[in-house]
Amino acid sequence: MGIFKNSFSFMLGTVCGVYIAQNYKVPNIKKLVKTGIDMAKHVEETYRKPKRKDDD
């Protein structure tokens, strides 16, 4: 009885997640994160301080 009681919320969350993914337009999280990382890299490269000549 303990294993069903402890894993009930996990099973319920899985079932709800599958239902939502099949019936609603859910964004692709992997693509969203990759786009955010690319934008952050672009901003960093654009606004980075230039290297000083004596740092070499």
- Could you give the C-alpha distances from 10 to 7, 17, 21, 22, in angstroms and in order? 5, 10, 16, 18
Query: Is 52 a residue whose pLDDT tops 80?
Result: no
Q: How many separate domains does the chain show? A: 1
Domain with 10 in it: 2-55
What predicted TM-score, i.e. pTM, was given to this entire model?
0.50
- Number of Cβ within a 10 Å radius of residue 12: 10
pLDDT at 56: 53
What are the residue ranges of helices labelled H in the chain? 2-23, 29-47
Q: What single letter denotes the amino acid at residue 6? A: N
pLDDT at 30: 93
